[in-house]
């Protein structure tokens, strides 16, 4: 008998931001790395929306997959 596998639909997230005159660096983590703020257990779709708000032209499937697999996603946004 096959059992259905329930997919995780939330992820515990920490967010670190560093802003200078030339760039914005945001790091999202799945574990506490001693930097950033704890955001809580967020639904996958909420995390994807947050990533797109930071960098609208990002490949969201690749970015979310990186965060999910590696536990960290750095997002660098150059200022014009």
**Domain layout of the chain by residue ranges:** 10-78
pLDDT at 17: 97
Q: What is the pLDDT of residues 22-64, one digit of tens each?
A: 999 999 999 998 899 999 999 999 999 999 999 999 999 999 9
- pLDDT band, residue 2 (cuts 50/70/90): low
Lowest mean pLDDT, pick from 8-12, 28-32, 70-74: 8-12
Torsion of CA 63, 42, 18, 21, to 10 degrees: 70
SS3 content of the chain, % helix, strand, coil (to 5): 30, 40, 35
Cα(45)–Cα(31) distance, integer angstroms: 19
């Amino acid at each position: 008998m096959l059992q259905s596998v329930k997919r995780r639909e939330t992820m515990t997230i920490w967010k670190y931001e560093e802003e200078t005159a030339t760039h914005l660096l945001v790091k999202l983590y799945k574990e506490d790395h001693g930097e950033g703020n704890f955001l809580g257990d967020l639904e996958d779709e909420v995390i994807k929306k947050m990533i797109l708000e930071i960098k609208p032209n990002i490949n969201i499937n690749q970015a979310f997959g990186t965060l999910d697999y590696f536990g960290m996603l750095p997002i660098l946004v150059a200022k014009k």
